[in-house]
Amino acid sequence: MMKYAVPFLIFLTQVFNAQAQKTTVKAYPKPSYKTITVYTTAEKTDYRLSKTATLTLTPFGQPLETQPCVFIDDTKKFQTITGIGGAITDASAETLAKLPAAAQEELINAYYSADKGIGYSLIRTNMNSCDFSSDTYTYVADNDAALKTFNVTHDEKYRIPMIKKAMAAAGGKLPLFISPWSPPAWMKDNNDMLHGGKLKEEFKQSWANYYVKYIKTYESKGIPVWGLTVQNEPMAKQKWESCIFSAEEERDFIKKYLGPTLQQQGLSSKKLIAWDHNRDLLYQRATTILNDPAAAKYVWGLGYHWYETWTGSAMQFDNLRRVHETFPDKNLVFTEGCVEKFDLGRIESWSIGERYGFSMVNDFNSGTCAWTDWNVLLDETGGPNHVGNFCFAPVHADTKSGKLIYTNAYYYLGHFSKFVKAGASRIGTASSRDKLSTTAFINPDGKMIVVVLNLSNDEVAYKVWFQGNAADVTSLPHSIATLVIE
């Protein structure tokens, strides 16, 4: 036996070393956590992601109740951040194509370059048409249940080229997830892609196969697909593309059709996201699907939107927390949000960006691991949109002049996406004043990122406090600041 022992040990050593090489994480020297660089965007100033201060942490013991503070605790780590980004829809891609080459390059860099822009790290896109398409379309001929005619020629004109440009600007890798608004009309009981309706029983397997066709076709064109949602807004009967799934219907479609089909087709690594609708019904949808082990085993996470406010409700962050504490092994993803009812006269309204800041701080603090805005680009009408559902985007294009219009939402988003890297962990943070909201992260390189939001009319002087050291910071009225601590 001894003559085989040494070669076998050598073999084991080689296997171990090979595995170690595969799993090695880039090592960074631990920062000393002495220097704070402050970047600010504020109303009634010229600050737009502007570097406004460089501070030094110095010894400071117990704060008094009269001394406003933002506290940071890097010993408490919570969810890992997957990415922050927005949707490249037909509308975004068509609008981009109408711009001069220089403006196109500016837009792509503004979003996807880590150096020249705000470093988006996630993309959503629509499978089949949505309201932000110029027309209603699918990828197959009518009544082709075998999907023999499947092709994405429609997307090759505008959308695929834009996605590839975004990927290149981001360094060649950019996770993308897909969302359907409706199956083809002939698969539905209302024979209409619009106005709700439901997927017919006899086409459920064909529809599950459709996701596979789309994913594999995109990947054959050099666009990796990271994940997918089951159905955009499954409880909304809209005048645009829509399809209704009750919680039980979505659960059963996942466990009987979509989940097994992805697995059988070698796509089990794709992140399957349920719900993809508002926070108000999130807990009911989560419990119905995730309390069924046969469905839950296929589900990576739950997606949600912020439009529960249409009922008169405030944003319901507590529902996120309830889901996060009930199903801590599943992920929360903000999959869509925008400011509705476009009005060019409101393009500079400060409330647009503040809605983003307020949502993002609270969403991340409630356990969200990824945050995806809606259209990255729209035109000067808030479209194109084939049903007149015009909305705001962080950036609009004046297609007549060829110029880009940056709303303050772009900068509010950038206070997160530019600094919080994929792979970051949320860490402990708290504010001693209700006028300051805060969330914090530690990046893979060890730098701490603290976001401080001030929605009030007041300037607030506070101390950022970390492990018995502090520095003095001033929060301007109606501002957002990112503090980079290294």
Buried (b) or exposed (e) across 201-222, using 16+ Cβ within 10 A? Answer: eebbebbbbbbbbbbebbeeee
Percentage of the chain beyond pLDDT 70 is 95
Give dist(CA 381, CA 170) in Å, integer.
28
Phi-psi map region of 119: left, alpha, beta (phi>0 left; psi -120 to 50 alpha)? left
Burial of 75 per CB tally in 10 Å (0-12, 13-18, 19+)? exposed
3-class SS at 153?
Answer: helix
Instruction: Give backbone dihedrals phi and psi of 147, rounded to 5 degrees, phi first.
Output: 60, 30
- Residue 484 CB: number of other CB atoms within 10 A? 18
- pLDDT band of 5, cuts 50, 70, 90: very low
Specify the amino acid at residue 62: Q
User: What single DSSP character describes residue 25?
Assistant: P
pLDDT for 24 = 46
User: What single DSSP character describes residue 66?
Assistant: T
pLDDT for 19 = 44
Rounded to 5 degrees, what angle do the CA atoms 22, 28, 33 make?
Answer: 150
pLDDT for 30 = 84
Tokens of 412: 């509010």
- pLDDT band of 29, cuts 50, 70, 90: confident
Catalytic residues: 233, 336
Give dist(CA 92, CA 322) in Å, integer.
34
Give 117-150 pLDDT, tens digit per residue.
999 999 999 999 999 999 999 999 999 999 999 9
Rounded to 5 degrees, what angle do the CA atoms 248, 251, 252 make?
Answer: 85
Give dist(CA 4, CA 303) in Å, integer.
54
Tokens of 13: 């050593």
Rounded to an integer, the average pLDDT of 332-341 is: 98
Answer for the pair 6, 439: CB distance below 8 angstroms, yes or no.
no
- pLDDT band of 443, cuts 50, 70, 90: very high
Residue with tokens 């880590």: 114
- Residue 331 CB: number of other CB atoms within 10 A? 22
Q: Quick check: 70 pLDDT over 80?
A: yes
Give dist(CA 127, CA 297) in Å, integer.
24
Give dist(CA 231, CA 254) in Å, integer.
11
Q: Quick check: 15 pLDDT over 70?
A: no
Rounded to an integer, the average pLDDT of 206-235 is: 98
- Residue 478 CB: number of other CB atoms within 10 A? 22
Give 223-236 pLDDT, tens digit per residue.
999 999 999 999 99
pLDDT for 21 = 39
Instruction: Give backbone dihedrals phi and psi of 4, rounded to 5 degrees, phi first.
Output: -95, -15
pLDDT for 27 = 76
Q: Quick check: 9 pLDDT over 90?
A: no
- pLDDT band of 103, cuts 50, 70, 90: very high
pLDDT for 16 = 35
Residue with tokens 């504010």: 431
Give dist(CA 99, CA 144) in Å, integer.
37
Q: Quick check: 3 pLDDT over 80?
A: no
Tokens of 189: 């009981």
Average pLDDT score over the chain: 95
Answer for the pair 241, 130: CB distance below 8 angstroms, yes or no.
yes
pLDDT for 456 = 98
- Residue 181 CB: number of other CB atoms within 10 A? 23
* Helical spans, DSSP H, in 120-203: 153-157, 159-169
- Is pTM, for the whole model, over 0.85? yes
Q: Quick check: 356 pLDDT over 90?
A: yes
pLDDT for 12 = 34
Q: Quick check: 72 pLDDT over 50?
A: yes
Give dist(CA 261, CA 255) in Å, integer.
9
Q: Quick check: 1 pLDDT over 80?
A: no
- pLDDT band of 23, cuts 50, 70, 90: very low
Give 142-190 pLDDT, tens digit per residue.
999 999 999 999 999 999 999 999 999 999 999 999 999 999 999 999 9
Residue with tokens 């005048």: 239
pLDDT for 249 = 98
Domains of the chain: residue spans and CATH: 35-79+427-485 (2.60.40.1180), 83-422 (3.20.20.80)
The DSSP result for 335-399, as a single string, is EE---BS--GGGTT-HHHHHHHHHHHHHHHHTTEEEEEEEES-EETTS---TT---B--SEEEET
The upper half-sphere exposure of residue 223, i.e. CA atoms within 13 Å in the direction of its Cβ, equals 26
pLDDT for 28 = 85
Residue with tokens 């976001």: 451
